[in-house]
Amino acid sequence: MLRLIAPLVLVTALLGAAPASAGLAPKLYTGQTKLGVQTSSRTASGSCSTSVGLLTDLVLRCTGSSGTAKAKYTFTLPKKAGSVTWQVNYLGTHRGSTVSVKRTSDTQFRVTVTQNSAGSTEIESVTIEYYTG
């Protein structure tokens, strides 16, 4: 009986103590969301415009092929945030829009949505997710 209990006790002790004894803490997966209108900046030129849609949505619209409508969302990250992923949530179709992302510093991450051809894009929200720890 002792031959069966001893390995079980050893495995239980190692599983419980491994993160603390190795100096490792579990990483936390978390994120942030900004509503469409919560931009850090908006610009429009030519035949393009930006406007508030349904309550908190932002609409980027171009009526022709000249010009650009742009919305930038800047997020502040905790130090040592890693594996940043992003998602733009649209309301309806978003033909002609593009998204670019850039980590501008250790603690800043920017998502830019651009409309530069005829059509419109309604941005409901922008989300980033990342590991900390």
CATH number assigned to the domain comprising residue 124: 2.60.120
| Per-position pLDDT tens, the chain of length 133 | 445 454 544 445 444 544 444 456 678 899 999 999 999 999 999 999 999 998 899 999 999 889 999 999 999 999 888 899 999 999 988 888 999 999 999 899 999 999 999 999 999 999 999 998 7
Residues 98 and 103: their CA atoms lie apart, in Å, by 17
- Quote the pLDDT of residue 7: 52
pLDDT, residue 92, reads: 86
Residue 62 is assigned to a structural domain of this protein:
yes
Structural domain containing residue 85: 26-132
Asked if residue 89 is part of any domain, the answer here is yes
Domain count, the chain: 1
Output phi, psi for 16, to 5 deg.
Answer: -70, -30
Tokens of 63: 């009526």
Yes or no: say if 95 and 62 are a contact pair by the CB < 8 Å rule.
Answer: no
